[in-house]
Amino acid sequence: MNTLGSRLRVHLFGESHGAGVGCIVEGVPPGTRIDTAAMQTRLDQRRPGTSHLVSARNEPDRLVIQSGTYNERATGAPVTLWIANNDARSQDYKSIHHRPRPGHADWPAHQWAKGFEDPRGGGPYSGRLTAPLVAAAALVAPMLEEANLLAAAYLQQVGDVEARIESDAAAVQARVAASPVHAADPDAEAAFVSAIEAARTERDSIGGCVGFVTSPMPVGWGDPFFDGIESQWARALFAIPAVKGVEFGAGFAAATMLGSAHNDAYRPSPGGLEPVTNHAGGALGGRTSGAPIWGRVAIKPASSIAQSQMTVDLDTGKSVAIETKGRHDPCIAVRAVPVVRAVAELCLADMLLLARHERSS
Amino acid sequence: MNTLGSRLRVHLFGESHGAGVGCIVEGVPPGTRIDTAAMQTRLDQRRPGTSHLVSARNEPDRLVIQSGTYNERATGAPVTLWIANNDARSQDYKSIHHRPRPGHADWPAHQWAKGFEDPRGGGPYSGRLTAPLVAAAALVAPMLEEANLLAAAYLQQVGDVEARIESDAAAVQARVAASPVHAADPDAEAAFVSAIEAARTERDSIGGCVGFVTSPMPVGWGDPFFDGIESQWARALFAIPAVKGVEFGAGFAAATMLGSAHNDAYRPSPGGLEPVTNHAGGALGGRTSGAPIWGRVAIKPASSIAQSQMTVDLDTGKSVAIETKGRHDPCIAVRAVPVVRAVAELCLADMLLLARHERSS
Amino acid sequence: MNTLGSRLRVHLFGESHGAGVGCIVEGVPPGTRIDTAAMQTRLDQRRPGTSHLVSARNEPDRLVIQSGTYNERATGAPVTLWIANNDARSQDYKSIHHRPRPGHADWPAHQWAKGFEDPRGGGPYSGRLTAPLVAAAALVAPMLEEANLLAAAYLQQVGDVEARIESDAAAVQARVAASPVHAADPDAEAAFVSAIEAARTERDSIGGCVGFVTSPMPVGWGDPFFDGIESQWARALFAIPAVKGVEFGAGFAAATMLGSAHNDAYRPSPGGLEPVTNHAGGALGGRTSGAPIWGRVAIKPASSIAQSQMTVDLDTGKSVAIETKGRHDPCIAVRAVPVVRAVAELCLADMLLLARHERSS
Amino acid sequence: MNTLGSRLRVHLFGESHGAGVGCIVEGVPPGTRIDTAAMQTRLDQRRPGTSHLVSARNEPDRLVIQSGTYNERATGAPVTLWIANNDARSQDYKSIHHRPRPGHADWPAHQWAKGFEDPRGGGPYSGRLTAPLVAAAALVAPMLEEANLLAAAYLQQVGDVEARIESDAAAVQARVAASPVHAADPDAEAAFVSAIEAARTERDSIGGCVGFVTSPMPVGWGDPFFDGIESQWARALFAIPAVKGVEFGAGFAAATMLGSAHNDAYRPSPGGLEPVTNHAGGALGGRTSGAPIWGRVAIKPASSIAQSQMTVDLDTGKSVAIETKGRHDPCIAVRAVPVVRAVAELCLADMLLLARHERSS
């Protein structure tokens, strides 16, 4: 329940309009340097209210570390991260309490909790819970850096506009940092912005895809079957609200390919051998091949739109039209980019801790 | 490690060319009826050697139950399922031990195990380990049936040929049973067969997609974030060898949609309300919406092809061309169909056991 | 790591002299009534500074609920409990940083964390982390009450003074609430107080035993082997700092008995049958027999004493005598009583959630 | 459910009078040498039918490895161990199906499984499931040996006869191997045999204690609270059928001690410092202190005795006297000795795998 990872374990908690959101991170090695300012910077990349292309909710997202550190180092005890909610406007949501919003978790949440769900905004289902995920990733970033491991994410598609697939994680990271929509491809960026603004003008929202790519990986990390690279990453990526598809390497395009074209031939390399191409997305038999792990994540259009939509009033049992108030994103794929990166980093950190273990066995 | 599920737990073991393959299934409620013949029938649907469209390996796949049952009922103790290997021809693989096959797990397996890996065929990475998954699903099938829950799978795409998306699990199941390639759409079936035979004639393999769909679900099953429906199912589905993409509902197509088109509006229903469309694939906020869970799984073309491919001889460090011997499938998507169904059933059974718990709390 | 339970899961965090201590509680059924005042009362029973028989550390132990509740009900989302530290005097501990205190975790903590441990007091090893356990138990108490389940604990032994074994949980609870040393046996209470005061006068500490007993249990809860009643409870009880022994029923005395005397014969009862005696401590084959679960927990004398003790100065490598400053308990068995009760309640709640599940399967 | 360990994971299955018993062992590092003959020898030490002091059930306990090894080495895949049942005489148990035996799991098992339990002998509750635990321990023994880690167990008490506490694991192991009752103390051995024979003559059974002790340990292994050394070991030890108490170091005697006597003072040592005494049993704050882990396990007298005992006939609801037929042990503490050692070894191996991980982080 709300737990990610086996060596590095993240336990998520909090609600969109409650006191705040946070997580416990277990397994951080003692001595890991804690750079609170750098963590805050990472959080700021995800935070709403920064431009007209994202939600206007104004949250400072101020990070507080409640446990697990001493003198700016991890002690090895569970690290608790806490981000208070400031600009929660729960009154925006009151009128729709008994009128479940299409596309949101309202209806299943209501049925599951038998009416005891938190009706304020997305409650514990909210995308706001991805803030502590970003903070947790920032916490383990120094560990990854030391191990020369990098995970980057970028806006790869908005509506019908597609950017090229990227394969150099470091370059992606630099370019994304400079883009208001987290695009790595400057040619696509303008088209992305147009598509998002068009949706926004129509009081609509639009879907998109986020690409991810790591630096070249050590060979053999992962496990066959249920703890394979793809299984672990997909579980983590599908946890991000609005994700509806995940693919690695050629992914769904592999369905259209012949084996002779899809197979990645090997050539000699200093480490023994390496794949010439990387249709596999860096994973074979659940383990890393040595090539970067890469793939794409499909993000649905935001469910909250300023247009009228049909639902049912649970009190009367009658159809009613509602308009979702609140301050929302015209294209949540934009804000999903730092979250996909964070989730990839958390997966890498978990794998790194396991691999250190196995290397020394 | 090799464990699926939380209430219903499957622990997988065995190797492609060792003594056999099997699994322990924990959590089967005492009193569950054990129909060994029905389980054997299910296994037979996955088994190789049945036509020229699948591998010629001849395995009877005879199921043995080693523990956990008494008088044809589950006792509540762990049920151990065992399927001996008969037609293991490990000599086919000897020559390629130090020449990792492109697309297979050979190279990462070798690096991870420091040379101690099982070199016979796919070892513990083999698709043969999906046989116990099918057996485990057959074991819990009566439990699902009693709860009126159904999961079906079908061949939805081969190369560029696509069949329609199905939404009626019961109808799919009936039609798939009658199709040599597990197709639900009779129009597409012939085109599938042609595409597969074409690949086979070229000594090549071809990719495909498997669709899955359940019966309408109870509302509210699942959990937000890491144990959401999509997270759990994707983890399980990506464990199937050769799966490279998983999507729910509109999936990657959602990236091209506007929110006004993608949102599933609600209408009144006997249970309160129900979605009119099902772009969400039956899951909202990690929980079931009441509509069927549906989606697609991308299957890469089989890595074993009878054409020459480039690899590296690990002894000499030089490039060499190899041809993968052995008896292989021209389109593993065909044989993945009963496995996808099995995995979906195991996910349903795990959810069912949890839901019973929560219903009574 | 720091996680208790499978259906009801408690994740512990915090340090003795950091910002505070707390826990996440997962699995609390939606709708569970949250009585913050009652939870505070339970915390007050464990809190230091209440008499000369316990530590003088003055902590208000003010409980804050950070997530998981709405309108005084659990929503089903993770409940986060937080207790800030107020009277942390970390300067008391500075001088002993490199002079590990006998009986404390200092030395193993230092070696494990390679010098990055939190040197302030017991850090994350401190008995102060039992405060959130008590709060968590208070959180689930209404759930147990509704199910007519009760767990009680009492001071059963101090030094050589033993009180009688109790078998009526409700009576124990009432009497313990009225006793300054949490004794259930008024005759033993005075002798306990004398023994504790004698140790205190000698600037020493003294060991003791805490007894526990539940109300009669439903039959069949638990599991054989690693998740048996005794396995689960012992894991939880040994987590309490200073616990060095756990026994169920006759326990170590069973070693001296003959089977004919130890076996609990059955007699008819409304539920079918019941044991006449309860040497088994309420557990057979890892499952409840229907009789109360009872047993004893051995608590070592507090390691912090105001006498000089020998240790090694890690900087010089030389032997040195140290005196443990700080404000400590002459008999931690006294304050362990509400903690043992809390742990027993958390175990009961976890079992209850599982049992509801199985009952409805 | 039936799973031990986190890095080294043992999943137990099987029944006393079914096809056999076994386990999966996950986490065995690839390359670990598999010495089947040595494993068989270890199994033979636990096996019944070897003298008049133990059960007459005649089981060859022939070990079969079903997966996870190749060329006498572990491959890193799950290792499946299987021991067929030969001399299962289930007819001995038929008459008592509806007359639960005092002290056995019959009654809770019947209630939990709603009548679907395996009625043959102890079913999945049987001490026979400790055979695969011994085999699993023998599997990891080479790993421990390489790390210079040793765990020994010995018969420490029978009825009122106590042997001395041992502190040298290697010496214990040598002496126990030569003793028909697994005693380490030759003086006590004869008294043990007399006590057991006396109980046997009276058609009764007798309780006892098993001591355990490891070689000196690396410092800092373990974790505070729920994964502390004592928590982990106690969970594992209480899983052994008939165990009713577990203590570490001074254990229950610590309740009678003053802190000044109980605290283990430190003195300089090559590793920094070491405790002069070891009342703590090798564990402080849940972590190893460097001294051997030692303690005692209380074993109840066997529940199966050849005397008449009172139970209830579930069909008639009336009291009846039964006599437990079958072939049983007069003192199961004797046969528990190799099992306690095995469980201690499995705990050590799990800790070793974790520690390697942490050392390299």
| E strand or H helix that includes residue B269 | strand B266-269
Of D7, D354, D360, nearest to A359 by CB-CB distance is D360
How many Å apart are CA A294 and CA A232, to the nearest integer?
14
Q: Does B351 touch chain C (CB under 8 A)?
A: no
Q: How confident is the model at residue B303 (pLDDT cuts 50, 70, 90)?
A: very high
What local confidence, expressed as pLDDT, does residue C272 receive? 92
Considering CB atoms only, which of D12, D116, D119 is closest to B76? D116
List chains adjacent to chain D, taking adjacency as at least 3 C-beta pairs closer than 8 Å: A, B, C
Q: Which of D110, D256, D358 sits opposite C160 (nearest CB)?
A: D256
Q: Does C361 touch chain B (CB under 8 A)?
A: yes
What does the pLDDT average to over C138-155?
96
Nearest chain C residue to A15 by CA distance is C67
The series of mean pLDDT values per 10 residues for chain D, 361 residues long, is: 89 96 97 95 78 71 95 96 81 67 95 93 93 97 95 98 97 94 95 96 96 97 96 98 98 98 97 96 98 98 93 95 80 96 98 75 45
Which residues in B23-52 are b (16+ Cβ under 10 Å) and which e? bbbbbbbbebebeeeebbebbebbbbeeee
A15 vs A271: CA distance, rounded Å: 47
Helix runs in B114-253, H state only: 130-146, 169-177, 186-201, 229-238
**In which element (H, E) is residue C11 found?**
strand C9-14
pLDDT in tens, B106-134: 999 999 999 999 999 899 999 999 999 99
How far is it, in rounded angstroms, from Cα C178 to Cα C186?
A: 10
- pLDDT of residue A48 exceeding 80, the answer is no
Cβ-Cβ contacts under 8 Å between C and D: the total is 389
Cα-flanking dihedrals φ and ψ of residue C167, to 5°?
-130, 0
Min Cα distance D221 → chain B (Å) is: 23
pLDDT beyond 50 at C361: no
pLDDT single digits (tens) C223-270: 999 999 999 999 999 999 999 999 999 999 999 999 999 999 999 999
Residues of chain B with Cβ-Cβ distance to C360 below 8 Å are: 356-357, 359-360
Q: What is the spatial distance between Cα A290 and Cα A304, in angstroms, rounded to a whole number?
A: 41
* Local structure of residue A258 (DSSP, 8 states): B
* A276: nearest Cα among B103, B142, B182, B179: B103
pLDDT at C354: 87
Give residues 110 to 149 of D whose Cβ lies within 8 Å of B. 112-120, 123-124
Looking at residue D60, its pLDDT comes to 85
pLDDT tens digit sequence for C264-323: 999 999 989 999 999 999 999 999 999 999 999 999 999 999 899 999 999 999 999 998
Look at the block and give the residue holding tokens 């002079």: C99
Q: Report chain A residues whose CB lies below 8 A from the CB of C11.
A: 11, 24, 26, 78
Question: A212-237 pLDDT, tens per residue?
Answer: 999 999 999 999 999 999 999 999 99
Token pair belonging to B57:
């390996």
Q: Encoding tokens for residue D296?
A: 């005692």
A83 touches chain B (CB under 8 A): no
- Structure-token pair, residue D290: 């460097």
* C33 has a chain B CB within 8 A of its CB: no
Judged by CB atoms closer than 8 Å, whether chains meet at D75 and B113 is answered as: yes
Contact C301 D246 (CB under 8 A): no
Find out whether A258 and B204 touch, Cβ atoms under 8 Å. yes
SS3 C31: coil
- Chain C neighbours (≥3 Cβ pairs under 8 A) are A, B, D
Least Cα separation, residue D309 to chain C (angstroms): 7
CA distances A206 to A160, B317, C13, D26, Å, are 10, 51, 41, 46
3-class DSSP assignment, residue B43 = helix
- B vs C: CB pairs below 8 A: 26
Q: How far apart are CA A239 and CA A232, in angstroms?
A: 11
Residue of chain A with shortest Cα separation from D223: A77
Nearest residue of B to residue C358, measured between CA atoms = B357
Is D91 buried (19+), middle (13-18) or exposed (0-12) by CB count in 10 A? exposed
Measure CA D78 to chain center.
22
**Nearest CB to A31; choose among C11, C73, C116:** C116
b/e map of A112-151 (b: 16 or more CB within 10 Å)?
Answer: bbeebbbbbbbbbbbbbbbbbbbbbbbbbbebbeeeebbb
Whether D188 has its CB under 8 Å from any CB of chain A: the answer is no
Terminal-residue alpha carbon distance, chain B: 31
Query: For residue B90, what pLDDT band results from cuts at 50, 70 and 90?
Result: low
Question: How many residues does the structure list for chain B?
Answer: 361
pLDDT band for position C91 (cuts 50, 70, 90): low
SS3 D173: helix
d(CA A1, CA C28): 11
Contact residues on chain A for D350, CB-CB shorter than 8 A: none
More confident residue, D97 or C214: C214
pLDDT of the residue at C47: 75
Q: CB contacts < 8 Å between B and D, how many?
A: 140
Greater model confidence, A54 or B206: B206
> And the tokens for A329?
């994103």
Could you write out the DSSP letters of every residue in B172-189?
A: HHHHHHT-TT-BS-HHHH
pLDDT of residue B359: 54
At C133, which helix (H) or strand (E)? helix C130-146
- Is this model's pTM higher than 0.90 or not? yes
| C217 to chain A, closest Cα gap in Å | 28
Q: How many CB atoms lie within 10 A of CB C333?
A: 33
CA of C12 to nearest chain A CA: how many angstroms apart?
A: 8
Task: Give the chain A residue whose CA is nearest to the CA of C21.
Answer: A67
Chain D contact set for A74 (CB, 8 A): none
Burial class (CB in 10 A: 0-12, 13-18, 19+), B112: buried
Contact C335, C46 (CB under 8 A): yes
Percent of chain B with pLDDT over 90: 85
The pLDDT of B330-348, averaged and rounded, is: 97
Give φ, ψ of B68 to 5 degrees: 90, 0
Residues in CB range of C41: below 8 A, 6 or more apart: C138
CA atoms of C184 and C340, how far apart (whole Å): 14
Cβ distance A266 to B224 less than 8 Å, yes or no, reads no
Can you name the residues that pair with D284 across neighbouring β-strands? Answer: D287
Average pLDDT, chain A: 92
Cα C91 from chain centroid? 28
- Residue B328 binned pLDDT confidence (cut-offs 50, 70, 90): confident
Query: Which stretches of D72-155 are DSSP H helices?
Result: 91-94, 106-112, 130-146
Q: Does C58 score more than 80 pLDDT?
A: no
Are B9 and B25 a contacting pair, CB within 8 Å?
A: yes
CA–CA separation, D73 vs B184, rounded Å? 46
Q: Which residue of D has its CA nearest to C284?
A: D105
* Residues composing chain C: 361
* 8 A C-beta contact, residue C65 and residue C36: yes
What is the ipTM metric for this complex? 0.96
What string of DSSP letters covers D124-140?
GGSGGGHHHHHHHHHHH
| Pairwise CA distance, residues B22 & B135, whole Å | 9
Chain A, nearest residue to C120 by Cα? A70
- Left, alpha or beta for B2 (phi > 0: left; psi -120 to 50: alpha)? left
Q: Are B101 and B307 in contact (CB under 8 A)?
A: no
List B residues 286-325 in contact with A (Cβ-Cβ < 8 A).
286-290, 296, 298-305, 307, 309-312, 314, 317-319
Residue C360 forms contact with B (CB below 8 Å): yes
